[in-house]
Amino acid sequence: MMSYLEITSFITSILAVWLTIQKNKWCWFWNALSALLYSIYFFQIQLIADAILQYFFILVSIFGYYQWNQTKTPIENKLKYLNNRNRLAIGFFVIFLTWIMGKTLELYTLASVPYLDSFCFALSLIATILAIKKYIDNWPIWIFTNAIYIAMYIYKAAYLTAFLYGLFFVLAFKGWMTWKKQLAIN
């Protein structure tokens, strides 16, 4: 059953992602608000890693706003791609963090899907950092992560949130195409 909390979280999240695609610095405020709301909701449905991730999103939103607000020269605002060495390092980091967090959640919490939740946590962490630094690579990571989230939320009967992540999946494609197009113009 959908709650007002889930519905409000849904609305603020859509606004946050839309503003991110537009590279509007206010996306970070809406990201923080939706994260706060979703942290409560995810604890309620025992997605512990997701709940913890929301607190990270709140902190990162403050940093993201600061970073995007401090851009002074066109070069600092430039979109870019990761190199292959960085992609490999990120892959190892995601595997390591998934294992550590998944094991911790499995042993010490009532998390219902500790490793899958931890995997999505690690990917979301990386994608968010890459978005702050304006790496185009954040969008394909979000596309992949959102696909997994959709299945996990359906499993947890969080249908509105699953729908939200379906929209995020589509918006991530739009963000990817928009940023690639902007990079080609610059």
Question: How would DSSP label each residue in 170-181?
Answer: HHHHHHHHHHHH
Residue 160 near residue 7 (C-beta atoms within 8 A): yes
Segments in 24-158 forming alpha helices (H): 27-44, 48-69, 84-108, 114-132, 138-155
* Nearest of 80, 181, 60 to residue 129 by alpha carbon: 60
Domain residue extents for the chain: 4-70+80-185
pTM assigned to the model: 0.85
Per-residue tens of pLDDT for the chain, all 186 residues = 678 999 999 999 999 988 988 888 899 999 999 999 999 999 998 889 899 999 999 998 998 888 888 755 544 468 899 999 999 999 999 999 999 999 999 999 888 899 999 999 999 999 989 988 889 999 999 999 999 999 999 999 999 999 999 999 998 999 999 989 988 876
Which residue bears the tokens 């379906």? 166
Q: How far is CA 120 from the centre of its chain?
A: 9
Give the span between the Cα atoms of 86 and 104, in whole angstroms. 27
Distances (CA, A) of 52 to 1, 17, 48: 23, 20, 6
